[in-house]
Amino acid sequence: MTTAQRGRPGPRRTLTAEAIVDAALRLLDRRGAEAVSVRGIAAELGVAPNALYTYFPDKSAVLRAVVDRLVGEYDPAALADPARPWRDRLHGLALSLRARLLAHPGAAGLLLGAPMDGPRALALGEALLELLAGAGLDERDAARASYLLIVYVLGAIALEAAELDPALPVPPEADRVAARRAALDAVPEETYPRTAAAARTVSRYITTEQFRWGLDRVLDGLAVKG
């Protein structure tokens, strides 16, 4: 080996894990979860598919990183702010997660299929446990309450996102309510009388008002220790 060969630098690293997650999110936003593959992400980045394996062992690992990115984008200072009532802090967290995830409806469905065990998700869980302990729950109840909140918030968001087309901008809330009401008006009243009678309320299941109402019912239960 010549001196020139020994001193030749190796190939430049043109990728990062963050860039791969960014590319996966772009694919999700344009075409939905079915379009995301190692080959698809590589094509989006203009690299060979095997280049991704330096950072992620497979597609499922990429999707887990996408979920971790999305659930981790909240303001930790606001969640930990002792000057704000604990309920207000939880409302702020839930609403920020809803806004963030509904901006990526193709990714929201992943919440039901990818484990939340990344560093950002773990940090969120730790912050929730700290907040709930400060609200007066003991260690066992705080852990159960943290899980309950995650199930409600992410489950509600995933169901709402399931009605959206990931390839299109999210319509205004009023337009989505109107579309749901039109579909409910077509339900035969003689067969489903209670559904027909409740059509106005059912059509608003995907509203911020309903999301906050459900969250408040959960928090009401946590505030009553028995």
Please count the other Cβ atoms lying within 10 Å of the Cβ belonging to residue 91: 17
Specify if 4 maps to a domain.
no
CATH code, 51? 1.10.10.60
Please count the other Cβ atoms lying within 10 Å of the Cβ belonging to residue 183: 12
Specify if 26 maps to a domain.
yes
Specify if 171 maps to a domain.
no
Specify if 61 maps to a domain.
yes
Average pLDDT, the chain: 87
Burial class of 89 by CB neighbour count within 10 A (0 to 12, 13 to 18, 19+): buried
This prediction has a pTM of: 0.83
Distances (CA, A) of 34 to 43, 44, 72, 109, 221: 15, 15, 23, 11, 38
Specify if 200 maps to a domain.
no
Of 12-26, 91-105, 131-145, 163-177, give the lowest mean pLDDT range: 12-26
Specify if 25 maps to a domain.
yes
Structural domains counted in the chain: 1
Specify if 57 maps to a domain.
yes
Given the structure tokens 């302990």, which residue do they identify? 133
Specify if 6 maps to a domain.
no
Q: Give me the pLDDT at residue 3, please.
A: 46
Encode pLDDT of 88-126 as tens digits: 999 999 999 999 888 888 877 777 767 788 899 899 999
Q: What are phi and psi of 191, to 5 degrees?
A: -90, -40
Residue 49 domain boundaries: 13-68
pLDDT greater at residue 13 or residue 161: 161
Three-state DSSP state, 139 = helix
